[in-house]
Amino acid sequence: MSHVYYIIGRAIISVSKKLLVAMSVAVIVTMCLKTTAASPLEHRRHNRHMTRTLKDSVTSKTEARIHEAERTTKEQKIRRLLHNDQYGTALQKVKHKMANTKDNFDERRRILTEPKDYGSGMPPWLPKTNFVDIHERSNKIANRKDASRSKQYFSYNIRQLYKSLVVYQELFKIFKQVGVISPDIQITNYNTKREDFFKKTIDDLYSTIEDIKDAMVRVKMPIPKVDSPKRLKLDTIEMKVNSAKYLKNDDILFRGYGNLLDNWHLELNCSKVTKPVKKGMLDKCMQYRKSLKEKRNKRKRNKRRKLL
């Protein structure tokens, strides 16, 4: 009987060892399978990480190049604007000064001018500023696409403005000295206001011309030499005249100078270079351009007639 128990015990131990071995093998196989399964997953994760890192690196470099290009372009634009802006700033100051000069003259003229209409006239001493040509030239400059547009516009128009004001300054100085042969009470009363009118107008002209010269110096533009145009026959101006001619000459001088200020005000504020045009100036600018176009067409018609 004991022998039977011994055999059964040995069998149980043998089965247990086999079972243990089988279980150990199963565990080892399971671990190997998990490791094998985990390896591709880890590999894929690693690849995704590397791809993402590489993509981020390329994106960062691309963005850096774009930012650098934008920064360089912006700096170049700023340098160009700063260079051109000196002309824009100088022009703006001249426009502001001219507006004040025009307003002051209009107010003084309103106070001084006699109600009587002395008629129109074009004496040989009266300057003629060709705004048809000035406007046409300004438009050609405005249509340019290069960076020198502001410089060319400023240089051309300020030179023309400066010359026209200097000529009128000379005229006002001359006519200030003109007197009446036999002044009556009306002329005596008129002369009291006239003397103040001429003094303030000449002072305004001097101040405006000096400001324009400062603007030219600021942009390193040479100040043009101005000689009285040969067609202006200043020697025809009589220094002693009768009352009627005295008042008529003043009226022609004041009207001519007032028109000059009006036209320069429109030319400087209605140009394509000085956009945008202020709302209050839109109708005036349209009328100004229309008027110049009519004058240009009339001049062309007159030239054709002369050729026939």
| Weakly modelled stretches of the chain, pLDDT under 50 | 2, 4-5, 8-9, 11-12, 15, 29, 33, 35-39, 72, 74-84
Residue 141 placed within a domain: yes
What does the pLDDT read at residue 194? 95
Using an 8 Å Cβ cutoff, are 268 and 91 in contact? yes
| Whole-number pLDDT of residue 8 | 47
**How many other CB atoms are found less than 10 A from the CB of residue 190?**
21
Q: Is 2 inside any structural domain? A: no
Residue 120 in domain: yes
Reference 70, options 56, 62, 54; nearest CA is 62
Quick one: pLDDT at residue 117?
65
151 belongs to a structural domain: yes
In a domain, 9, yes or no: no
Q: How far, in Å, are 101, 117, 128, 185, 208 from residue 203 at the CA level?
A: 10, 27, 22, 28, 9
Output the six-digit token pair for 200: 């303030």
Report the alpha-carbon distance of residue 301 to residue 53 in Å, rounded: 77
**Domain count for the chain:** 1
Domain for residue 140, yes or no? yes
Residue at 57 is within a domain: no
CA distance 81 to 150: 10
Domain hosting 210: range is 72-275
> Residues 160-183: pLDDT tens digits?
999 999 999 999 999 999 999 998
pTM: 0.70
Read off the CATH number of the domain in which 172 is found. Answer: 1.20.1250
Asked if the structure places residue 58 within a domain, the reply is: no
